[in-house]
Structure 1
Amino acid sequence: MQDYLKSIYLINRESGESVSTSEVAEKMRVSAPTVTSMLVKLGEKKFIKYEKYKGATLTKKGEAIALEILRHHRLIETYLVEFLGYDWSEVHEEADVLEHHISEELERRIANALGNPKYGLYGAPIPSADLASIAKDETTKLGEHISGDLVMIERVKENYIGSENSPRTRDSEELQYLAEIGIKPGEKVKVESVAPFGMITVSNEKGSHSLPKEVSMSIHVKKI
């Protein structure tokens, strides 16, 4: 149940619209009938508002659960890197498992140990302890920028739409490579060129780097 609510929240945050059965099925890699069955149950429990063919939106009750799971997830990812020596490329799957099993006391202690951070390892906001709604994302996507733009990287998404037009999770080698070339939150890059078919070339203090469109569209930035 929690994974469904989290997925609906994340999809809606990107699109701002009701979330379809197919979108949830793609993100969670399950069948559409399985999703439909769960959405009906979540609707009956007042976690979502769901209408067949119109999609689902979270209620306040459902949003609170989604935010709590996201808070657990992003705190755990950061803690694993800061205190247990993990690389940022290793922690997403670990957090996917652990996010459902930590107590509120452990969550509080992890947050305190980290200094109560506002942003997670990949740059996404960490929901506050009171689970208040997160402000609208004001970033743009790197792949939307033009030659000459100087931007600050704000967030690198763990999941994105791949070249086959299906959701995928970055593997550890890809995250390691992005870190090695300076594509991480807090780093500046300049857009050098954009090819007609979408390949974008950026430069930073570590050199010049060409990124496929699906990768550049999953990196959120702010223009400087």
Structure 2
Amino acid sequence: MALKNRPVPREPLPDADVHSEGFRQQRQARRSALVEDYVELIADLIEDGNEARQVDIAARLGVAQPTVAKMLTRLCADGLVSRKPYRGVFLTEAGRKVAEESRIRHQTVEAFLRSLGVSAETARIDAEGIEHHVSAETLDAFRKAMTAPR
């Protein structure tokens, strides 16, 4: 007997304060996701032995250079990157911290998905979105699930 066609019982709505907190956290995650993607990519480009140049950032993110220029201005104002004329983009100490935290979240999510049997390519792509929306509690649960004896 297939269960696919059975309706899933709906949970009652949570208290309004609890409900709104979930939406608030998701809005915050969406706002920070772009910043995290940029600083993580800048860190990757620098660590790969290259300068993080605007043209390279645009190519890797699949966006236009003016889009990158606008975001770099924002990241400079937020104290996450610095720019030097005729040189690339550099992370500040705060930018390195954001990049490292983002990288750790990404690696944890990707490893968890791989432990479930998700292909490497799909896990990499899916982790790119999930990493920004997952709580510290959930990341800890992912880590515990991966280290638990089977």
What is the TM-score of this pair, normalised by structure 1? 0.48
How many angstroms does 1:39 deviate by? 0.8
Deviation at 1:74, TM superposition (A): 1.1
Distance 2:36 2:72 in 1: 12
The one-letter amino acid of 1:106's match is: T
Aligned to 1:6: 40
Distance 1:73 1:100, change over 3 A: same
- How large is the Cα RMSD of the aligned pairs? 1.7
Deviation at 1:26, TM superposition (A): 1.1
How far residue 112 of structure 1 moved from its aligned partner, in angstroms, is 2.6
Q: Size of the alignment, in residue pairs? A: 114
Question: Residue type matched to 1:11 in 2?
Answer: L
Distance 2:119 2:67 in 1: 34
**3-state DSSP of counterpart to 1:49:** strand
More strand by share: 1
The ranges of structure 1 where at least 4 consecutive aligned residues each deviate by more than 4 angstroms after the TM superposition are: none
Gaps of 5+ in 1: 117-224
Aligned equivalents of 1:52 and 1:25: distance in 2? 18
Q: Distance in 2 between matches of 1:102 and 1:59?
A: 25
Letter in 1 for 2:66: P
Q: Distance in 2 between matches of 1:56 and 1:80?
A: 32
Closer/same/farther in 2, CA of residues 89 and 42 from structure 1, 3 Å limit: closer
1:77 aligns with: 110
Distance 2:121 2:128 in 1: 13
Structure 2 segments unaligned to the other structure (5+ residues): 1-34
Q: Shift of residue 3 of structure 1?
A: 0.8
1:57-116 Cα deviation digits (max 9, x unpaired): 11111111111111111111111121x231223211110110100111111221232239
- The aligned counterpart of 1:59 is 92
TM-score (norm 2): 0.70
* Code of the aligned partner of 2:48: E
Question: Among the aligned pairs, what percent are the same residue?
Answer: 26
2:141 is matched with which residue? 109
In the alignment, which residue of structure 1 is the partner of 2:32? none
Larger RCO (CA within 8 A; separation ≥ 6): 2
Tell me what 2:24 maps to: none
Q: Secondary structure at the match of 1:89?
A: helix
